[in-house]
Amino acid sequence: MPADEIPVSKLKVPAGFKIELWASGMPNGRSMTESPNGTVFVGTRFTGNVYAVITKDGKREVKTIAKGLHRPNGVAFTNGSLYVAELSRIIRYDNIEQNLDNPPAPVVVFDALPKDEPHGWKFMKLSPDGQYLYFQIGTPANIVVPPSTHATIVRLNLKTNILETVATGVRNSVGMDFQPGTKELWFTNNGRDWVAEDKPSDTLNRLVRPKGMNFGYPHCHQGDFLDPEFGKGRSCDEFDKPVYNLGAHVAALGMRFYNGKQFPAEYKGNIFIAEHGSWNKTKRVGYQVVRVVLDSNNKVVKAEPFVTGWLDGENFWGRPVDVQMLKDGSMLVSDDETGAIFRVSYGK
């Protein structure tokens, strides 16, 4: 969508905050990551492009640094290199910030991932120690007993190139982040379709054990709902429970912990989740960024809308996908419908 046609004024944030158009011209822009130098890299699902957004004298310039890739949704940056998760492989662009106008050919890091298109796009997150790339391998269908390789969260060791499974029973996560302090992985998960309007819920989950957790798919959803087809003879007590149920069909995608200093103190440690919005529900839900507040025991105190306005009645003009905290403490929100990124800031 052309920048002058994006109705930013329709977006609403709490008192004291403001939201503005930060960059545009990135068709299908989705997952984001920021380099230490402030370059924001943006992946896509449908266009095959990867973008880089640089800021000069307060103005943004968008560069297309890769074309023709296959579902390059996930992006991560470390040691001067940009990692991109395609559908069935992980690739790497070395020394990329010095070559944004003439990017090098990518190095193939790992190319033995499944090739299933359904839920095949990856969200990717670098571990706090920089040793692992975490990403999901979604289920190859809406509801099916998946192969052991699917409905998982895995991690790739960047030193040994060994891939290992860290969680199973995860239908499809398209957002994850490590909690500051505990360094535990938290992630969103999308519930199955075609059961009912109000179930099962999308979930927020927490990896409290480094390996061996099973979150129930395809037998149990949302921690307490047995699947009508695959739940027979099973119990939800067999499986690990979500931290919080976010609502059915909201399409909870990108999530980040807020650890900056720009927002008021009570926002420290909060989780922000981008809800892409429903596609198969009579009355649309989602299409917003939600704030989740935790107590000192990591229990959810409340969840509330933080950015709204993409949905107008039953019509939507945008769909939030990911959130990214910038070093200055503000927050970016990507929108793959408009191809734009918005910035939420606090104060003057």
> Is the CA virtual torsion 97, 102, 105, 106 positive or negative?
positive
CA distance 28 to 67: 13
pLDDT at 228: 97
pLDDT beyond 80 at 142? yes
Residue 210 is predicted with a pLDDT of 85
Q: How is domain 3-346 classified at the CATH fold level?
A: Neuraminidase (2.120.10)
| Confidence label for 18 from pLDDT (cuts 50, 70 and 90) | very high
CA distance 310 to 314: 10
What are 60's strand-pairing partners?
A: 55
pLDDT in tens, 62-101: 999 999 999 999 999 999 999 999 999 999 999 999 999 9
Residue in this structure with the two tokens 């990518």, named with its chain if needed: 106
pLDDT band at 348 (very low <50, low <70, confident <90, very high): low
Domain boundaries in the chain?
A: 3-346
Portion of the chain with pLDDT greater than 90, in percent: 96
Mean pLDDT of 120-130: 97
Give Cα 7 to chain centroid, integer Å.
Answer: 24
Q: How many CB atoms lie within 10 A of CB 301?
A: 9
Model confidence at 218: pLDDT above 90: yes
**pLDDT of residue 243 exceeding 80:** yes
Per residue in 162-185, pLDDT (tens digit) is 999 999 999 999 999 999 999 999
